[in-house]
A and B are shown apart, each in its own frame.
Chain A
């Protein structure tokens, strides 16, 4: 009975609202910052990289291409950053009241989805400005995003628990994220690399998702199913392992937080 997440839906809702409201109430500017920060990052990166990337024959303007990769990447890295602290920053709850602890991680991520949607609005406007063709394939963006969310959730469970025991896990993982960013086709396209190195991208779920987003948004086509299946399997495996470890350690969270 305790594992029934549906039973906890109102709790998830209110914890998510707390995250969102708490943040926006602190500063009205914060609200705009959430939207504008990814946009400015995109503008700056476009300036820096557009000349190099022009030769790639992307078929669409570079800023749009970049933005399509940057938004999901920022969702990923921001989510992990917050999720890793979701248990430590809720220590008073963890110490005093029982509910499945993964709810704290989940609520943090859902609040980040809200940010993502806000930032996506600018992206949608830009796509209209740059006259990207609309197609029904674009709707596939949503299930791919769910898959990315699932992957992020699995990783968050693992890292948030580890970070509770050793507080420098988050700093170590920041380094990993920096490397990971360059191994993911955010600022470039996978075609930029010779065929024989491209297997790296196939094993990197973030790369799989970003390629799939671009496929459905810009090519007006289905994503590459076999890549997505690999992404799904990795996400699933990660989730099963993380969830198990998380549940195993859960009984001692209150002792160490």
Chain B
């Protein structure tokens, strides 16, 4: 059964040339351009089944992040339809909604409910979350005093406990130290074994080869290849 269905999906961005009403009015009088269209995703048709681990490859600006945003529901397609049958918990941004003045503890609750967790559940899992983050000593310190590494640890730990059915990962492995990256990969493998659908955007092609079961190759918003991992990556490398 397909969990994610893309049906003739197009996404346009409208670049506003004027950021204020004042500029807009002036531009209209001078008959200047006000909007410019960017065709970021072109007529995409595919579906993703439960438990698939899909790598998305493509150059910068190919539309990878946009694709994830549509799946996450934060951005709407301009035309076409998109069906998502399960709860998506995007990992695209770690620590979204963190407030620097609040303590680690308070931010765990805040970020947890933002990611769709119930307060009771967070209370129950609280010790595990803190243990995973390895920052128990600083849990009652405002996070503005955290190093960026500590911040990422805390954020990732909360995200890990969201128990999503669909996991979206956009280049997060580019941040943090190697030890923590390894830990993330281990966790993602656990998700994979549990049958979670994973959509994985990465420039680390060797990781994609090892980890994914299918590859989508995007080029300027078009789907150039959809299928077997090594073939897809090879085609991408050849065309680069």
Contact B72 A255 (CB under 8 A): no
Hey, what's the 0/1 contact readout for B96-120 against A, CB within 8 Å counting as 1? 1101011000100110011110110
For the side of the interface on A, what is the size category?
20 to 34
* Measured CA separation A250–B97 after assembly (Å): 19
Which of B14-22, B46-54, B231-239 is found at the contact surface with chain A?
A: B14-22
> A2's closest neighbor in chain B, by CB?
B73
- Assess A97 versus B106: contact at CB under 8 Å? Given A168-B21, A255-B13: no
Assembly CA distance A15 to B20 (angstroms): 29
The complex places the Cα of A136 from the Cα of B88 at a distance, in Å, of 50
Partner of A96, one of B14, B21, B74, B109: B74
Q: Which of A14, A95, A99 contacts B109 (CB 8 A)?
A: A14
Q: Whose C-beta in chain A lies nearest to the C-beta of B97?
A: A93
A165: which B residues are within 8 A, CB to CB?
16
By beta carbon, the residue of chain B nearest A250 is B76
Whether B90 sits at the interface, judged by CB under 8 Å, is yes
Write 17 A-B pairs (CB below 8 A) sorted by A numbering.
A15-B114, A17-B110, A21-B102, A22-B101, A25-B101, A26-B101, A90-B97, A92-B96, A95-B93, A97-B115, A172-B21, A251-B75, A251-B76, A252-B14, A252-B75, A254-B69, A256-B16
Also in contact, A92 and B97, with CB within 8 A (given A21-B106, A172-B21) = yes
Closest to B13 in A: A255
A-B residue pairs, 6 tightest by C-beta? A251-B76, A98-B73, A96-B93, A168-B20, A254-B74, A25-B101
Taking A10-B119, A17-B106, A168-B21 as given, write out 13 further A-B residue pairs in contact, using a Cβ cutoff of 8 Å, ordered by the A residue number: A11-B114, A92-B93, A95-B69, A95-B74, A96-B96, A97-B97, A167-B20, A250-B76, A251-B76, A254-B69, A254-B74, A255-B14, A256-B16
Could you say which of A18, A96, A166, A169 contacts B102, with CB atoms under 8 Å apart? A18
- CB atoms of A14 and B93 under 8 A apart: no
- Cα A222 to Cα B240 in complex, Å, equals 76
Q: Is A70 an interface residue (CB 8 A)?
A: no
B150 interface contact, C-beta 8 A:
no
The answer to whether B92 has its CB under 8 Å from any CB of chain A is yes
Q: How near does chain A come to B9, taking the closest CB pair, in angstroms?
A: 13
Mask of B66-78 contacts with A, CB within 8 angstroms, 1/0: 0001001111100
Question: Which residue on chain A has the smallest CB distance to residue B65?
Answer: A95
Q: Is B176 an interface residue (CB 8 A)?
A: no
Complex Cα distance, B92 from A252, in Å, reads 18
With contact pairs A166-B19, A251-B76, A255-B75 given, residues A97 and B110 touching in the complex (Cβ less than 8 Å): no
B114 touches A166 (CB 8 A): no
Task: Note all chain B residues with C-beta closer than 8 A to A17.
Answer: 106, 110
Interface size on B, residues (CB 8 A): 34
Interface residues of A in 139-178 (CB under 8 A from B): 165-169, 172
Closest Cβ neighbor of B74 among chain A residues: A254
Q: Could you tell me the distance between the alpha carbons of A93 and B98 in the complex, rounded to whole angstroms?
A: 10
User: Which residues in B have their C-beta under 8 angstroms from that of A167?
Assistant: 19-20
Q: Pick the contact of A97: B16, B76, B90, B142 (CB < 8 A).
A: B90
CA distance A8 to B223 in the complex (A): 36
Residues of A within 8 Å of B13, CB to CB, are 255
Determine which of B18, B75, B97, B109 lies in contact with A254 in the assembled complex, contact meaning CB atoms within 8 Å: B75
- Cβ of B4 within 8 Å of any chain A Cβ, yes or no, is no
Q: How far is the CA of A15 from the CA of B109 in the complex (A)?
A: 10
CA gap between A15 and B142 in the complex, in Å: 17
A10 to B76, CA, bound (A): 25
CA distance A165 to B35 in the complex (A): 12
- Asked if A68 lies at the interface with its beta carbon under 8 angstroms from chain B, I say no
Cα distance A251–B69 when bound, in Å?
A: 10
Bound-complex Cα distance A99 to B97 (A): 13
In the bound assembly, the distance between CA atoms of A250 and B73 in angstroms comes to 10
How close is B95's CB to chain A, nearest CB, in angstroms?
8
Is there an interface contact between A25 and B102, defined as CB atoms closer than 8 Å? yes
> Do the beta carbons of A98 and B74 come within 8 Å of each other?
yes
> Is A186 close to B, CB under 8 A?
no
